[in-house]
Amino acid sequence: GDSVTQMEGPVTLSEEAFLTINCTYTATGYPSLFWYVQYPGEGLQLLLKATKADDKGSNKGFEATYRKETTSFHLEKGSVQVSDSAVYFCALQANTNAGKSTFGDGTTLTVKP
């Protein structure tokens, strides 16, 4: 079945550091890929998405590129801020699954001033 594997956390960085959160997936066909962010006490919200190979999703300084050859969708940001502290979830949506998504376990990011 479909699965998503994220790098284990928690991740702690200093402000202005470079961020990478690894995500790899297993799926049949050509899924769409998403990154969601969850702030404390809130639900998940979409951060960015990519729907086909070599697509780059970007938002709020975050980027991720859909790499079919390595089945990966790593999240990056060049300079993190304290306000980026949150839990980040990688997810996939297969094209045969009635809109259901498969989520990774989440990676907690803490950014210190």
Binding site residues, other proteins, CB under 8 A: 31-32, 34, 36, 41-46, 49, 51, 89, 93-101, 103-106
Least separation in angstroms between CB 15 and other proteins:
27
Closest approach, Cβ 89 to other proteins, in A, equals 7
Nearer Cβ to other proteins (17/58): 58
In the complex with other proteins, the residue whose CB is nearer, 26 or 45, is 45
Q: How far is the CB of 103 from other proteins (least distance, A)?
A: 4
H or E segment to which residue 50 belongs: strand 44-50
User: Are 80 and 17 a contacting pair, CB within 8 Å?
Assistant: yes
* 12 contacts 98 by C-beta, under 8 angstroms: no
Helix (H, G, I), strand (E, B) or coil at 112: strand
Task: Give me the count of residues in the chain.
Answer: 113
- Core vs surface per residue 93-111: b (16+ CB within 10 A) or e: bbeeeeeebbebebbebeb
Of 69 and 98, which CB lies nearer to other proteins in the complex structure? 98
CB of 38 to other proteins, least distance (A): 8
Nearer to other proteins, 106 or 111 (CB): 106
Residue the block writes with tokens 């990966």: 72
